[in-house]
Chain A
Amino acid sequence: MSIWLTYAGMAAVTYAARAIPLLLLRNDPPPWLALWLKYVPPAVFTALIVPAVVTQMGDHGRVLQMGPAVGAAVVGALVAWRTENAIVTVALGMIAFWLIRLVVG
């Protein structure tokens, strides 16, 4: 099978995951579903953050790894709370990461 057919398969399964909910949810959702979906963003955002900060890929899946990233994330969270500014948050978080890494290891 050519690499382009593999791409087509990869694109198909990816597009299905992106498109099915977008195409099916078209009418007014029942109130319970609307309320549920309202709280999806904070849940998904957090799920994209925390494992990326406190775990790492090991030989057999993810393992807990409390490194400089944790300190940098805490700094980022404090900066985000005060400034609500993404650029400043990322910049100060990265500086914190490099400083901690310099000191710790």
Chain B
Amino acid sequence: MSRWATIQQGFLATLVVWPGVAPFGMVYAVSALSAGLSFWETLGMSLIVFAGASQFTAVGLFGSGAHPFSIIATTAIINARHLLLAASTASYIRKSPTWLRALVAFQLTDETYAVGVQHFTQHGGDAWFQFGSNLSLYFVWATSTIIGSLLGALIPNPSALGLDLIFPLTFIAFTVPMLRDRVNLVVALLAALVSVATALVLPGSWYVLTAGIMASAVGAWLARRQQLAQMEPIHENS
């Protein structure tokens, strides 16, 4: 497939997460404007930082007059989870040139990571697919920021409508089919426990890191044990 077709494929495969993202791009814009940011400052954060949860938090901190360094530190804590997403993505696209991986890194998000991994486990890694997916989310995030700025207070609060549930529901659709594999199922159950326990005691998104690292380590250990068990019978029979 040509490079352009692959970018398009990644772009289109990401349409499925648009409904979960667009309402919050609009609301981010409304809350940023009401916190005193100008239109260009509101759109600028979406284009430069491009990280939903930390943008919402930053708007709250700007509104309360927080020191820039505390805003930057909070952003680092919220986005620390990207270390793990990026490491996981790297395992699929590490053969691509450095500049291309640096480009993919600029826009990697929870949503496009999920779309990418789903594609890569079936069709093999492809950095251009990931780039197309990232571009898709970048486009909808910027566009919904602009629409939100224009419509302003006309936009209903999506959380009151329960629309913040679209994000976990989309990820449920990605995850549940993976659980037909027994090791994945154990990993998911463990990740559920660890993530909730961590979320209750630590700020930011540390819960993604703790659960992501610990549950996957147990998964690797179980899979290794299965591999060894399949070799074992030879010894037992002798």
Contact = CB atoms under 8 A, between A and B. Distances in A.
- The residue in A38, A47, A50, A51 that gathers the most chain B C-beta atoms within 10 A of its C-beta is A47
Contact of A21 (B87, B187, B192, B214): B87
A17 B171 CA distance: 22
B114 A14 contact: no
A90 B166 contact: yes
A10 B84 contact: no
Interface in B191-216: 191-192, 194-196, 199-201, 203, 207-208, 211-216
Contacts of B151: none
Contacts of A89: 169-170, 172-173
Interface in A5-53: 5-11, 13-15, 17-27, 29, 32, 34-53
Given A20-B83, A94-B162, A42 B184 contact: yes
Interface stretch (B43-51, B140-148, B228-236): B43-51
Band of interface residues on B = 35 or more
Given A44-B85, A80-B173, A90-B166, A7 B45 contact: yes
A36 to B, nearest CB: 4
Contacts, number: 281
B82 A18 contact: yes
A18 B200 contact: no
B89 to A, nearest CB: 6
B237 interface: no
A22 B165 contact: no
Interface string B48-69: 1111001000100010000011
B7 to A, nearest CB: 18
A39 to B, nearest CB: 3
Interface of B: 16, 19-20, 37, 41, 44-45, 48-51, 54, 58, 62, 68-69, 71-72, 75-76, 79-91, 93-94, 98, 101-102, 104-106, 108, 110, 113-114, 117, 121, 162-179, 183-184, 187-188, 190-192, 194-196, 199-201, 203, 207-208, 211-217, 219-220, 223-224
Interface of A: 1, 3-11, 13-15, 17-27, 29, 32, 34-55, 61-64, 68-69, 72-73, 76-77, 80-81, 84-87, 89-90, 93-94, 97-98, 101
Interface pairs A-B: 6 shortest CB-CB: A39-B219, A19-B105, A47-B195, A80-B176, A21-B87, A86-B173
Given A48-B208, A77-B176, 13 more contacts: A7-B45, A13-B79, A14-B49, A18-B108, A20-B86, A21-B86, A22-B104, A40-B212, A46-B175, A61-B203, A62-B200, A89-B173, A93-B172
